[in-house]
Structure 1
Amino acid sequence: MKKRILLIALIAMNFGIHSQTKIGFDINDAFDVSGNSVAHYGMSRISGTGYHYVGLSGYFGLNFYTQGKERIKILGNGNIGIGIAAPNAKLEVSDELRVRLATNYVDKNVVRIIPLNYSGITGAMNWSIRGTYQYSNGVGINAIGGDLDIIKSWNRNTILATKSDGTSLGNVGIGTINPDMKLTVNGSVHAKEVKIDLNIPAPDYVFKKSYRLIDLEELENFIKENNHLPEIPSAKEFEKNGIMLAKMDMDLLKKIEELTLYTIAQEKKIEKVEKENESLKFLLKKVVELQKRLEKLEKE
């Protein structure tokens, strides 16, 4: 009974009741409520700083309820849970989290939202950043069955994804959810430079003396029969299988080197013909001179 009277006296000393239209409480220094020797709830001021704080002593936490349900919990260790009874991190949120950023540039009544979601499917997680407007793009992580969709467009088409192959080395797809190689791009690629490591030999062997260069007549017959160069796929094969850049570059380089050898051989033949022509011209000149001398002798 004495404790209750003392508490009422302290409240009367530290709180003032204002007018009928506005009722409030003035805290001059500190306010403390204790139920036992451990749990204390209090409001106090940090001297010389102008700051006030509200806190609990002991090891107990703090719960916030609305409509008879627990909404926020602060544990004694400082972990905060929203919609979760036992938070295991400094901030743990159950259900969707939305942050309003700004009004949409097309429709000011539509607010852009960032939702972070966790799906209830076992082994699946969906974390996305997107807007409410129907044409807004999304950035997120959607892990299902070992696959990982990283970015999705407004119509839920996957823009960037990884595909699990049962190991830690998954394939990455851009514009496709079924990448069949380490990087599969469903569309065009724009780059300043592309470096390709070769796993096949460069065709410098073409310039070795032991290399057999088919003659032009044989090459001509092959082209007439097949409608493409030797060792180069046909148009139908390109359409069916695509092009392997490294191999194709080396095949084309080989043809360029062969063409260089053909050009050198042709140049030698041309030089030989030119020399023969010079000899023929010289002989023709001598023949003309002899012809003139004969004609002169006949006239004498």
Structure 2
Amino acid sequence: MKRLTLITTLFVFISNCLFAQWTANGANIYYNGGKVGIGTTTPSYPLTLNNTSETGIQTIYNGTSVYLSHGGWGMGAGKFGIGNPSLPTLVINAVANGPSSVGNVGIGTVTPIAPFHVYTNTDIYGIVTGDDSHSNLRISGTAGGAAGYGLLQTFIGGGATTGGILSLQRDAGNVGIGTSDTKGYKLAVNGSFIATSVTVKLNSAWPDYVFKPSYQLPSLSEVKTYIDQNQHLPEIPSEQEMAKNGLDVSEMNKLLMKKVEELTLYLIEHQQQIKDQQQQINALKKQMRALKKSKII
């Protein structure tokens, strides 16, 4: 009887010691002290989870699971992932003094190669701030495994009518301001712009060759014939070409300078003709005076 009483007392004492650390409050259970270990008998922190499988923690909402994993899903040691085994949506590098010690964060990839790496299998936007009804920033790249460049767009006032847009296009690296369609140009501006200075570097010769002796200056009669037939100057684009292709500022300035230089040559030639004619007139006047003095006329 004494032995039974001793065993019962010891059991109650041990139970009180064990369960004194846990407190039940309705459906909630609280741990009052010490450390909790899952998969380990020597927890080092308030909660230590030791697991050899790929998934460490599972949460379920309406039948859909989201998992937390350390080193699983092909990520490797020192990486913490959130998502599911087929496609972790967030990966954080946490290992120190190793190839992944930079602390990269990956979304949609288990091997982030930059401090912040967003991966997608489609050409959809990888990063979007704001919504379609307000100003927002959108960043996207090409689909995973495909060659190409990304896209950066800033919208000011979204919706059916966009108040403004800055677009850095993929492929050729084109820039669009006020438009996302650059028509293949390096810079496309939908609207006007102002600048205190613009420098255009030519890829062809400036028309100083007009002043070289070897240059064949068209006669004014030839120019007149061309104008009568085409209703615009030679080499200058027509109105229809301008309406279709726009104005090439660099090429047009070069052509206008060529016409100015040709016009200068025409003026110089015309001035020489006037000078020669004046000399002839003066000579004739002199002869007339001489004839009058000799009373021949």
Fold match by TM threshold 0.5: yes
> Which residue of 2 is the match for residue 226 of structure 1?
230
Answer yes or no: is 1:160 the counterpart of 2:167: yes
Structure 2 runs not aligned, ≥5 long: 1-6, 24-28, 72-76, 94-104, 109-116
Inter-CA distance 24–210: structure 2 relative to 1 (3 Å threshold): closer
Aligned to 1:63: 57
Structure 1 residues 6 and 287, CA, compared in 2 at 3 Å: closer, same or farther? farther
- Distance in 2 between residues matched to 1:39 and 1:24, nearest whole Å: 20
CA distance in structure 2 between the aligned counterparts of 1:66 and 1:155, rounded to whole angstroms: 36
Classify 1:117/1:251 alpha carbon distance in 2 versus 1 (closer, same or farther; 3 Å). Answer: same
SS in 2 for 1:41: coil
Residue 56 to residue 11, structure 1, CA distance change in 2 (3 Å)? same
Query: Do the aligned partners of 1:117 and 1:126 also contact (CA within 8 Å) in 2?
Result: no
Q: CA deviation at 1:261?
A: 0.9
Matched, 1:209 2:217: no
Distance in 2 separating the partners of 1:3 and 1:32: 23
Q: Is the 8 A contact 2:49 2:56 kept in 1?
A: no
Unaligned runs of 5+ in 1: 18-22, 44-53, 95-115, 165-169, 295-300
Q: Distance in 2 between matches of 1:272 and 1:130?
A: 77
Aligned-partner Cα distance in 1 for 2:200–2:70: 55
1:46 equivalent in structure 2: none
Shift of 1:229: 0.9
Q: Could you say what secondary structure the match of 1:82 adopts? A: strand
Over the matched positions of the two proteins, sequence identity in percent amounts to 25
Alignment of 1:93-242 (within 5 A): 122-132=121-131, 134-141=133-140, 143=142, 148-151=150-153, 153=155, 154-155=158-159, 160=167, 162=169, 164=171, 170=172, 172=174, 174=176, 175-177=179-181, 179-191=183-195, 192-198=197-203, 200-242=204-246
Shift of 1:228: 0.9
Give the aligned length: 241
Name the Cα RMSD after superposition.
Answer: 4.7
2:255 is aligned with 1:251: yes
Are the equivalent residues in 2 in contact too, given 1:203–1:250 (CA < 8 A)?
A: yes
1:184-219 residue CA offsets vs partner (Å, 9 max, x unmatched): 444445443132341x33322211222221222332
Q: In the aligned structure 2, how far is the partner of 1:264 from the partner of 1:139?
A: 60
TM-score, normalisation: structure 2? 0.58
Q: Secondary structure at the match of 2:265?
A: helix
AA in 1 matched with 2:238: S
